[in-house]
Amino acid sequence: MPGCTWSRWRVRYGSRCARRRRTRFPGSSTRWPRGSRPPAPRERPVRQNDDLSVRKTMKRHKTVPVPAPTLLVLAPALALLAATGCTGQPPPADLSDADKLARVEEMVEEVERRFPEVEAVSVEDVGRLLETGSVVLVDARAPREREVSWIPGSITSEEFEQDPGRYSDLTVVAYCTIGHRSSEYAERQNEQGRRVLNLRGSLLSWAHAGGPIVGPDGPTHRLHVYGETWNLAPARYETTW
């Protein structure tokens, strides 16, 4: 430096520059003194609706989304499975009629434990009431099931509710496939002051007892059993669900 020796420049500037020495961090315009630590970088918040993260999570856990309409359709069947104590497994194809009837009885007992307040009547008793004309059978199943076959002389739940007073002098008995839905129906009607009984074992017990079943073309051996789990009709029946 002109007019200044090296030693004088070092004494005047060197130590001061050393004290003020800064460290520049990559990607930052801020200089931090040596020995100090910059603040931790802010983590990017994970969005709950991040499509990529959702897809990765589903792939990792092999999750299959179930549409809401599908759940609504499955809800009655799942409730019936829980109520009848079933595991959801279809019965073996080689079951004898006696074994099928035994399984039906197990399901019926579970239904009766679930609806202890609902009065049940046996198939034999209903047969005797039908001979005297003192009973009306109410089909509590869905229309698609009734289109296949039904017990002769029975009416739909809609027909009964349109004019319940018309049947006040008769014994009203509801039925379905196994007795769960008809017990629910009877329970609702009883809460409204109408005495409705449940056909014990419903259509499955009726079929095993040899009761007549009719379809659109007259007597038939076709039967809608609601689901494969309840495919317990006698071997002579053609079942659907």
Which amino acid is located at 162 in the chain?
Q
Alpha carbon of residue 74 to chain centroid: 5
Domain range 91-240, its CATH number among 3.40.1230.10, 3.40.605.10, 3.40.250.10, 3.40.50.720: 3.40.250.10
- Strand segments, DSSP code E, in the chain are 22-24, 31-33, 120-121, 135-139, 155-156, 171-175, 196-199, 214-215, 218-219, 222-224, 238-240
Q: For each of the chain's 241 residues, which pLDDT tens digit applies? A: 455 554 554 555 555 544 444 444 455 555 555 665 656 656 555 555 555 555 555 555 454 444 554 434 444 544 555 444 444 677 777 899 999 999 999 999 999 999 999 999 999 999 999 999 999 999 999 999 999 999 999 999 999 999 999 999 999 999 999 999 999 999 999 999 999 999 999 999 999 999 999 999 999 999 999 999 999 999 999 999 9
d(CA 44, CA 177): 56
Catalytic sites, residue numbers: 176
Q: Which amino acid is at 219?
A: P
Among the listed residues 127, 167, 173, 175, the one whose alpha carbon sits nearest the alpha carbon of residue 149? 175
What amino acid occupies position 153? G
Instruction: Kindly list the domain boundaries of the chain, sorted by start residue.
Output: 91-240
pTM over 0.75: no
- Side-chain half-sphere of 16: how many Cα atoms within 13 Å? 6
Cα within 13 Å of Cα(127), Cβ side: 11
Rounded-to-integer distance, Cα 230 and Cα 241, Å: 9
Q: Which of 204, 209, 199 is nearest to 223 (CA)?
A: 204
Helix (H, G, I), strand (E, B) or coil at 81: helix
